[in-house]
Every structure is written in structure tokens, then in C-alpha cells.
Amino acid sequence: MTQRILLLFSLLIALGGCVVPFTAVGPGPVTVSDMQVAPQSTWNQASAAQAAFARKESQVWTTDGLLLNRLILIPAVPEGEAIFSIASETIALPVFEADMLPNELEELTESSMVKLLGEGDSAVETENLRPLKFGEQRGVMFDFNARLTDGPDYRGVVGAFIQADKLYMIIYVGADPYYFEKGRDEAEAIIRSARVI
């Protein structure tokens, strides 16, 4: 019995050492690589370990926990690279091309999310493609729905633009219905505030 208690205590200490805290970001201007956004309130930035799918230059923020909502800030994706990073030899992510049209950026995002969430385990549909200006730069915004076979449904909104042959993208994802709507207005304001500096 004493050995079991000692083993359990040791396990709890080991697990406690693995907890990676979030880092507070905002309010006010925040720079991610060469992209600047202006959150109106404080968000929590996930560590690289908590967001293993993110590109090295990207950041992932949340207000209520990564399973409930997240904002994925993806700056300066060069031509020929994917918007996410997956360490797998069997999963081939689609890549960005500098001459992509708005509908092709929408398709790139949809295909990438399906690969990230697991083909056969998810269905992602994009809709409502519309123009959006990021300062003087023309870009797009669109919505999406993601249904998982083993988990909650999600809704999201994406803003994207191309500048100097690089893709800049912000993806907001929230569990449907409550958490998506709860953070949508601020997430869209952050998307609209994106600029290259």
C-alpha cells in the first residue's frame, strides 16, 4: 500500500512538472513575426508544445481553452509551404501558391483543416467568401463549419491576404454553438486589424 502511495505521489509530481503555462498577450498591438494585430482584451498564447500543428512563426491564442476556442495567427507563409505543420510522412498538406485566387485560398484552408483534423474523421465546409481590406491590402474573409465524428462541432471565420508573395492568415475556431458566438466579434476585429509591418 505504501509503495502505491509513493508511486502515485511521484506520478503527480512528474505530471505537475509537465504543465506548460500560457502566456498573456494583449490588449493593444501584438506583433507575430511581421504581422501586427490589435486584440481588445487579453488572450492566452499557447506554448509550442500545446500547438504542435502550428508553423514555427505562428501563434495560437485562446480565451477559454484550446478545445473551446482558438485563434491561429499564421504570418508570412512562403510559396510552396503549407499553412500548418504536421510531422507525418503519410500526410501531405496542400501548399500555398502566390498566384492563388480568393476561392483557391478558401480551398487551401478547407483541405488543410481536413488533413489536420483527420480525413474520414471530419467534414469541413467553407462558405460566405467575401472581400476584406487589411489596411491597403486586399484580402478575403470566409466562414467554415467543421464536424468531427468524435467531438463537438466547430464553426470558424478566416481572414487571409497575400503581400509580397507571402500568405498571411488568421483562423478563429470555436465550439458550436456557445463558444464560437462568444468570441466571434472580437476575433473578427482582430482579423480586420491585421497588417504587415
3-state secondary structure of 100: coil
pTM, rounded to two decimals:
0.87
Q: What's the sign of the alpha-carbon dihedral 172, 120, 54, 94?
A: negative
Per-residue pLDDT of the chain in tens (197 residues, 90 and over written 9) = 434 333 333 333 333 444 558 999 989 999 999 999 999 999 999 998 888 899 999 999 999 999 999 999 999 999 999 999 987 777 789 999 999 999 999 999 999 998 887 766 778 999 999 999 999 999 999 999 999 887 789 999 999 999 999 999 999 999 998 999 999 999 999 999 999 99
Residue 9: predicted pLDDT: 36
Residue 14: predicted pLDDT: 38
C-alpha cell read off for 193: 486589424
Q: What is the pLDDT of residues 114-152, one digit of tens each?
A: 888 776 677 899 999 999 999 999 999 999 999 988 778
Domains of the chain by residue range? 22-196
Alpha-carbon gap, residue 179 to 193, rounded angstroms: 21
3-state secondary structure of 197: coil
CATH match for 22-196 among 3.40.50.300, 3.40.1000.10, 3.40.640.10, 1.20.1250.20: 3.40.1000.10
Residue 68: predicted pLDDT: 95
Q: What is the pLDDT of residues 13-29, one digit of tens each?
A: 333 444 558 999 989 99
